[in-house]
Structure 1
Amino acid sequence: MAQVWALSLAVASLAIGMLGVLGVWLCYLFEAVARGGAPPAAPPPQAEEEVEADDVKNGLSEAELTRLGGVCVPESADGEEDEEETLCPICLDAMEPGRPVRVLPGCNRAFHRDCVDRWLAISPRCPVCNVWAVPPSPATAPPAPKIAWGS
């Protein structure tokens, strides 16, 4: 008799719990319908020209890449072999003699020129450490805060 009583109590508790969850869900549903129901519409997609203009605006232009400098062409070492091969952090390919390399002035990291130029056309920051590839000019940099010592 005690087992039947315990089983009945368990079934009743489970049913009451499920009714509670159903009640909360129905309240949420009615409130959503009362607020207007449909979620807000997505904004209209941008025209392709606007998207391209935004992308170009974020990265460096061809003229800025030319002014950036830092391009060199490593030559082969005469009989000297490095024990550790230097890799381009973007493509993970070796820095071969004769292939142009660009060193970013902000962080002094070396990349294949074609790899980093593609990156810099999208973002003006180093792909490894996020330092600005082109340091801001003093005219565009924000003024340094004035600190009063001993006041």
Structure 2
Amino acid sequence: MTKSLHPVAGATALLTIITFWTSTVLSELLATEAVVIAVKTTIPWGFFLLIPALAAAGGSGFALAKGRRAGLVGVKAKRMPFIAANGFLILIPAALFLSYKAGQVEFDSVFYGVQGLELIAGAVNITLIALNMRDGLKMRRGRLSAGDR
């Protein structure tokens, strides 16, 4: 089950973050203020999907690693603290702040400064999670090519 859970949870987390990021950019560039408000106030509700997906991906990855820290397993493990810290220290507080500000229709320089920080931090997490997914797929292909078919 862990072998199935890990890629599904990781993909769910990655797609959720991509959805948050893309929705933010598109609403800011192309949509009305009402749509921006809807997007920014809806994103925190997505945490009910994102946080369990990230926890499941991290926990199942830890279980699959079985204490190994060499090679791609180690590379993936080294990225995880940055992904978690970025999420808990920057992305979640920023999303909650922006949701509040949007709900108050306060689109000031502070809102856009935090919005810029959130987009940069989100792009970093998208990149790091995508790299972990790439490395996981490499590891899986390596096992399959070694005769596990």
Larger Rg: 1
Structure with greater proportional strand content: 1
Relative contact order: is structure 1 or structure 2 higher (C-alpha 8 Å, sep ≥ 6)? 2
Same fold (TM over 0.5): no
Structure with greater proportional helix content: 2
**Where on the TM-score scale, by shorter chain, does this alignment land: which range?**
under 0.3
TM-score (norm 2): 0.26
